[in-house]
Amino acid sequence: MTTLTPTRAGTAAPAALPCHGKPLTTGQPASARHLDRNHLVSGIVSRRGRLADLEAAMAASCEAAAARGAPRAIRVDDRGTWDRAMWQRYLDAAARLEPDYGPLMRRLLQEIDRLQRLLDPPLAA
């Protein structure tokens, strides 16, 4: 990667490489580069991965909060054994964590939807 220092200020940035590894040509319009099917699929997959990670982290935090003060007979990994108090602690934690996780999760869902619509254009009638 090129670093711009006072002695190398005129050095050009390296050529951009899309997800499939081929260099972009300068004659190719930006819209064509961004509407490339591989590029769109890669964007969807990466956002779904980040969303799954956020969901897992939030669920783990809620389960940890629910487990505090739970009787020993209740297994955290088996929600069928949870009592009403444990569910209430889980929901309280979810409500408390929503401002931290919710906005980013909603933004990722919107981005996935937007990319999916670009990937699957409507059929002409």
Q: Which two tokens stand for residue 121?
A: 């254009």
Handedness of CA 44, 50, 53, 54 (dihedral sign): negative
Tell me if 70 sits within 8 A of 76, measured CB to CB. Answer: yes
Amino acid 60: pLDDT: 95
**pLDDT tens, position by position, 26-58:** 555 555 555 788 899 999 999 999 999 999 999
**pLDDT tens, position by position, 104-121:** 999 999 999 999 999 887
The one-letter amino acid code at 61 reads S
Helices of type H across 4-83: 30-34, 37-67
3-state SS class at 16:
coil
Handedness of CA 91, 46, 26, 7 (dihedral sign): positive
Q: Where are the domains positioned within the chain?
A: 37-119
